[in-house]
Structure 1
Amino acid sequence: MRQQRQAQLKELEHLLAFFDENGDGMISAAELRTFLNSVGEEDVSAEEAEAMIKSMNARSDGLLPLDQLVARLEEEAATMADSVGEEAERDLREAFRVYENDGEGCITPTSLKRMLSRLGMPMEMDQCRTMICRFDINGDGVLCFDEFKFMMQMMP
């Protein structure tokens, strides 16, 4: 994962260097504007680009070192990834609540059987126990949220 992230950062550096028209290792507001417009941002005005450069602690000459821009973009990407991760976690918790047994905090063979029947996939109790057993890491006969999360990650 770390190597992949480093490769992505290198790729971003190369991409941004392409927009550094004079090759000085600094990004001007005009160069930032060209970059943002090329990656699909709606038409960014010159004033907006200048404000962005200033907000990223540009030097007094209004130029932003390329590595500082890369670091800022990396921070924003990480924040977005965290946000997506949090949303996925919320979705999993919601799905877990659907299957759990009346707020007990776990999925039992009975609650699994009941929910699968409601979904039009009736199963025998032994089949439900077998499904739970497959992902029941601590061996207590039920699935806690972490076990459910692991199960969902393992399923295609």
Structure 2
Amino acid sequence: MMRSEQYQRVLHYFDRDGDGKISASELSHRLAMMGGELKLTEAEVAVESLDSDGDGLLNLEDFIGLMEEGGEEEKMKDLKEAFEMYDADGNGFITPKELKKMLKKLGEFKSVDECKAMIKQFDINGDGVISFEEFRLMMQ
């Protein structure tokens, strides 16, 4: 099933009156039915900020934007957490020694020279360490 078809099905679930769009009250009501809580005033703010055509409702395109935006934030948070695991001293860079130490924890035994070679593959600016931005690009 294509992603847009999945979003269409979810939008249809939220769309109680069948107009193909989600109102603030529909959003609040369905989230409550699913065990969540979103006050009507909060739902109104969310709909207003995402509403691309100014009609006060979320269409499919708006809804997809909502769903994918949250996913990107979550991915970025997960990447930062993973990066911090490797960046043992917290200086914002993964050094060959830090990479070696983390790989050892994961059951992979590499020499510092092997770790330098691994870093070199993704070290865009050639400084011998991996920054978060280089790590992010590497993980895509």
Same fold (TM over 0.5): yes
2:93 paired residue number: 106
- Asked if 1:94 is matched to 2:81, the reply is yes
CA shift, 1:87, in A, is 0.1
- Asked if 1:147 is matched to 2:124, the reply is no
Whether the aligned pair in 2 keeps the contact of 1:101 and 1:108 (CA below 8 Å) is no
The TM-score normalised by the length of structure 2 is 0.61
Structure 2 residue runs of 5 or longer lacking an equivalent are 21-29, 34-43, 48-54
Structure 1 residue runs of 5 or longer lacking an equivalent are 1-7, 17-26, 34-40, 45-54, 57-67
Provide the aligned C-alpha RMSD in A. 3.7
2:102 paired residue number: 115
Cα distance in structure 1, aligned partners of 2:114 and 2:126: 17
Q: How does 1:1-156 map to 2 (within 5 A)?
A: 29=17, 31-32=18-19, 72-153=59-140
Cα distance in structure 1, aligned partners of 2:118 and 2:62: 40
Largest Rg, 1 or 2:
1
The TM-score normalised by the length of structure 1 is 0.56
User: Which amino acid in 2 is paired with 1:148?
Assistant: F
CA shift, 1:73, in A, is 2.5
Count residues with an aligned counterpart: 107
